[in-house]
Chain A
Amino acid sequence: MKDHLPTNESRRSFLKATGHLMIGFNLLPLSFCQTKAEQTEIPPYAGVPLRATIDNKLVDSWIRLDAAGHLTVLSGKQELGQGIKIALIQIAAEELDITPERCHIINSDTGQTPNEGFTAGSNSVEGSGSAIRQAAAEARQYLLKMAAQKWNIAPESLQVIDGTIKSPSGEKISYWELLDGKFIEEKISGEAPLKAPKNYKYVGQPLQRDDILKLVNGESHFVHDLKMPGMVHARILHPPSYQDKLQSIDLSEVKALPGVLKVIQNGSFLAIVAEREYQAIKARNLMEAAAVWDKKGIQVAQNQLLEDIQKESGQPEEVMASEGIEQIITSSALNHQAEYFRPYHMHASIGPSCAVALWEENLLTVWTATQGVYPVRNTLSDLFSIDAEKIRCIGVPGSGCYGHNGADDVSGEAALIAREMPGVHVRLQWMRDDEHKWEPYGTSMAFRLSAGIDSDGNLLAWDSAVWSDSHSTRPDGRAGSFVSARHLDPPIEFRKGGWSGGSHRNGVPEYTFKAKQLHLFDYQGPLRTSSLRGLGAYANTFAMECFLDELIRKSDNDPVAFRIKNLEDPRARAVLEELEKNTNWKSRAKTANNGFGIAYARYKNATSYFAVLAEVEIDRQAKNYRLKKLTGVIDSGLTINPDGLKNQTEGGMIQSASWTMMEEVNFDQNGVTSTDWNSYPILRMVDVPEVEVHIIDRPETKPMGAGEAAMGPVAAAIANAVFDATGSRIRNLPIKPEKIDWSKV
């Protein structure tokens, strides 16, 4: 992408002059503000003036103090249900010594928040949190200096209580009085003193999220809920499958339907705009019946997927090489090889993707639930060949996405449709089958693992071969990343990027194998793929921790003791020791009808540590099993909000259990056949396990991303528990009861 960024002041005046800054200003969460004001003596919050962000290095880009007595934090990270708003507020409130009730946050808006790329990789607390902490500390230092100058005393002698600076002789002035609404345009030097964790008042506390009050009252919260003056409703008709092209369509009946305002056909891109949502749905149904497609379907048969993956080998990437490792393994006293497989998994958001778009002259505004407002803006800029500065992407929460779902695609499509309806807010919502069939899945993967251990139990060698399609096809400035751009005439083709880090994430064991090797084979699979929670770490950890369990069984070791013995990092050992203690592992009540499985991983081999115990119960008669309980221990360093950390970890555990036990995207020669919740079932209330999460808080260490840590270990722990209960080693996800050899149980 070309960088069109004009100079700072000209950028602000450009936005102001075009009136572009005012669009969507009514989106300030007023109810949220009123709620806070009701609880305290703090004056009502009126929001902050819209001001374009110009440089992530300025305090003003992250921290705003108004004249009335509020702090507004700006973050380029989106609230996805992970509770990032309250966590970032806690961090800012802490450094500035302001009660959190005075604090508000604006997330993800190219018109005003910093560019922080994508809200992904469990990176928000580490990235945005760290920037906000630095900015808040800088602001505090700046304000203390101002007060010190005013009173002609040393800033070190001052103290702050809820935003009011006090001198030793009793003088007082608040941040808000000092600034009187002016911005702090200081550079963040990175040298402002940070508060010592032992003095924390808000960080580390289970503060409640404000948005839950809105949610329980049914207040407008999601992008789906936006209501704009004169807004109209769009639906899109995607082709039956990826490569299918529109042969012909008679649109005359569709155009004649009541309420239909516009029928759009551009190549194989078909969309409808109507006054009412239901009219748009009816028109889409009619359009579906009228469309004649040139069907290319899907060439790979689902039951041949594993063979297809391993056939498409090509030259592997040597992620880690160790010469002669094959020889070491085959000559080891204990050596073993096994193959593991993961099918395609869906994000499967409960609310189908939705966006609102508005073209006014040559300015485009999109209200979007994307994880990256700036990357989407750049991609829209490429799609429409207009300057990125003429596009504003305003982040609004969507239904939980867990990675790259349809949120970006629907934003691109809404903009394409709205271009045909100048001056009108167009709301596009996908139907259920759009979401199920067109979201980019977590890719299918295959693994061939081999390892050798000597007769004294020393870990000699571990060799992994991994096959994977891409885990990252997010919109990054190239229009082809939007799925519908490929259906336009002329089509804008898609090229996947070269980044393979997602594929071998957690692929190299932390265990003390003397030699380690990992070869990665790039697979071009039949289905569209991108980032799903944990990327390759989910299946790499599943395969690794199951294979390790195989080695442990073969060498007659204890699953907890073996891991502790062969991990060098004391924090890794600590989560396992804590798990052992909390679950009474050594005195577990093993019966003929249950099984226990252990797994551990440090996410990305670099962030949160997570160990988990799964307990399953089997029913021989029904040839079925049930996941009874998951107990996890997590160490994410400094805990910002322990309840938020628990909530996300519980969620990750349950979601992973659902992927692992029951999920796979089905397809046949005509396309994806998992089109709804019956054809792609997920865990329901009656089947979810009991979950228990323990936190090891380490205030003296940096906070680390936590939202994806549970995914892989939970998968392996369930498989290991099923083996413990049944003797069947299921290496091919999902772990459906029919894969268990019940004759041997």
Chain B
Amino acid sequence: MPRDITLHVNGKSQTISADPEEPLLYILRAEFDLKGAKFGCGLQQCGACMVLEGNSAQPTCLRPCASFENTQITTLEGLAKSDKLHPIQQAFIETQAAQCGYCLNGMIISAVALLQKNSSPSDLEIREGLNQVLCRCGTHARFIKAVKLASEKINSEL
């Protein structure tokens, strides 16, 4: 049965009436009109639906929205700060790291989580950090390049 659920998304709190079992993904896309997170498989296999829960990249296609109630959620739309793109977003543009772009949400969210833990990841660490996310266009090499570039940007800002 629906009940009031309070979610903290991109720095704002909003209370909605929802089925607590409904996966967060559908709530984000419908109630919050945030289209960054995508449905890919509904099975937590492809990573298209990732958001940041605190600093951790988490799939949203299966987990009930109620389980996110006391956490801070950041979506792709919440990465840019006062119109300034996050260094990872900037790096994806500079390296033109996209083909169809459907997986980009998962890749960018995973990259943000990775760089928050490790601002100078090796090639292998980047691959492992993004490994949950599937890309079918074969843009992987550019994603690696983009994360490296973002890492340089972040480290030069420190």
Contact = CB atoms under 8 A, between A and B. Distances in A.
A578 interface: no
B127 interface: yes
Contacts of A225: 35
Given A216-B89, A218-B75, A349-B136, A688 B141 contact: yes
B134 A81 contact: no
Nearest to B139: A651
Nearest to B106: A350
Contacts of A208: 93, 96
A432 B45 CA distance: 10
- Name, among A350, A399, A676, the residue most crowded by chain B CB atoms within 10 Å (CB to CB): A350
A218 B107 CA distance: 12
A32 B130 CA distance: 28
B36 interface: yes
B136 A682 contact: yes
Interface string A640-676: 0001100110111111001000000000000000001
Contact of B43 (A351, A676, A685): A676
B139 A209 contact: no
A276 interface: yes
A671 B105 CA distance: 33
B107 to A, nearest CB: 9
B100 A647 contact: no
B30 A351 contact: no
A80 B137 CA distance: 10
A126 interface: no
Contacts, number: 167
A399 B102 contact: yes
Interface in B93-132: 93, 96-105, 108, 124, 127-128, 130-131
Contact of B26 (A276, A347, A349, A688): A276
A216 B92 contact: yes
Interface string B28-67: 0110011111111111011010000000000000000000
B142 A432 contact: no
Contacts of B103: 350
Main secondary structure of the interface of B (DSSP, over half): loop
B34 A431 contact: no
A686 B43 contact: no
Contact of B76 (A216, A402, A648): A216
Nearest to B91: A216
A400 B102 CA distance: 7
Given A82-B99, A278-B23, A351-B48, A218 B34 contact: yes
B43 A688 contact: no
A209 B76 CA distance: 19
B135 interface: yes
Nearest to A354: B39
Interface in A206-259: 206, 208-209, 211-213, 215-222, 224-225, 227
B140 A80 contact: no
B69 interface: no
Given A211-B101, A219-B35, A432-B40, A350 B85 contact: no
Given A217-B76, A677-B134, A81 B98 contact: yes
B48 A220 contact: no
A682 B134 contact: yes
A597 B28 CA distance: 48
Given A216-B108, A677-B45, A685-B133, A352 B39 contact: yes
A686 B19 contact: no
Given A350-B103, A432-B43, A647 B140 contact: no
A684 B101 contact: no
B102 A222 contact: yes
Contacts of B143: 685
B110 to A, nearest CB: 9
Interface string B67-83: 00000000111001000
Contact of B33 (A227, A676, A686): A227
B14 to A, nearest CB: 17
B76 A350 contact: no
B136 A400 contact: yes
- Name, among B41, B42, B104, the residue most crowded by chain A CB atoms within 10 Å (CB to CB): B41
A743 interface: no
A350 B135 contact: yes
B11 interface: no
A429 interface: yes
A55 interface: no
Contact of B137 (A217, A352, A655, A690): A655
Given A81-B99, A351-B38, A651 B131 contact: no
A56 B142 CA distance: 37
A526 interface: no
A276 B93 contact: no
Contacts of B76: 216-218
B137 A677 contact: no
A224 B127 contact: no
B77 A651 contact: no
A224 B103 CA distance: 13
Interface string A586-622: 0000000000000000000000000000000000000
A688 B140 contact: yes
B102 A684 contact: no
Interface string A370-412: 0000000000000000000000000001111010000000000
A202 B88 CA distance: 28
Contacts of A684: 131, 134
A209 B45 CA distance: 29
Contact of B30 (A276, A398, A643, A644): A276
A276 B139 CA distance: 33
- Name, among B43, B92, B97, B140, the residue most crowded by chain A CB atoms within 10 Å (CB to CB): B140
B101 A81 contact: yes
A350 B136 contact: yes
Contacts of B124: 686
Nearest to B86: A216
7 contacts: A218-B77, A220-B35, A350-B46, A350-B136, A650-B141, A676-B43, A686-B127
Given A212-B96, A654-B141, 8 more contacts: A351-B38, A351-B39, A351-B102, A400-B99, A676-B45, A685-B127, A685-B144, A691-B141
